Amino acid sequence: MFLLLEKYATERWGLEAFEDVMDAATPRLVTRDPFVGPGSYPDADLVTLVDAAAAASGTIADDLLRDFGRFCFPPLLSRFPWALGGHDLPSFLCTLERTLQIDAQKLLPGVKTPSFRFRAEANRLRVEYRSPRRMCSLAEGLLEGAALHFGARLDLRKRACLHTGADACAWDGTVT
């Protein structure tokens, strides 16, 4: 995610702006070495970088995370070749639920992946997201990016949030 954040910021605001974000964030980062992939880094570093990017761009951090999630979907999808064909949005998401942790562990042993639960019925979708990272806006952006990839329109309504004391973020959605 760190290298994708660099690519996202560079494409959105330019290399110099990204370097300014890094300069602002570096004193607060746990990691002192450059971020290289594949690799696993402290969650606090991602939060620090997102906060610095949001401040530098004048964007609310949740809005930045949602946009970043939409941006991340295509490159993340390319890492999971099983997901590239034969699906519509609901069937893809239900397949993802069963295989995300397994495939992520193959790429980065020991990585902590979020937990998703998807239920699809006709054009209705229910989504639950659990993660100690509590990056529900990133998860929502990834869902929106998946919808774009599959040429679907996804209207989500959040009904619960980790940030307000719920044990999971939960959305009800309509897929058209």
The model's pLDDT over 111-148, given as tens digits with 9 standing for 90+, comes to 777 889 999 898 999 999 998 889 999 999 999 999 99
Q: How confident is the model at residue 160, as a pLDDT? A: 97
CA distance 175 to 152: 7
**Going by C-beta distance under 8 Å and a sequence separation of 6 or more, which residues neighbour residue 146?**
73, 77, 89, 92, 93, 154
CATH for 87-175, among 3.40.718.10, 3.20.20.120, 3.30.1390.10, 3.90.1520.10? Answer: 3.90.1520.10
pTM: 0.89
Provide φ and ψ at 40, rounded to 5°.
-125, 130
Domain ranges of the chain: 2-59, 87-175
Q: How confident is the model at residue 85, as a pLDDT?
A: 66
Q: What is the pLDDT of residues 64-108, one digit of tens each?
A: 999 999 999 998 888 776 666 667 888 888 877 667 767 766 776
Higher pLDDT, 168 or 132: 168
Residue 82 has a pLDDT of 66
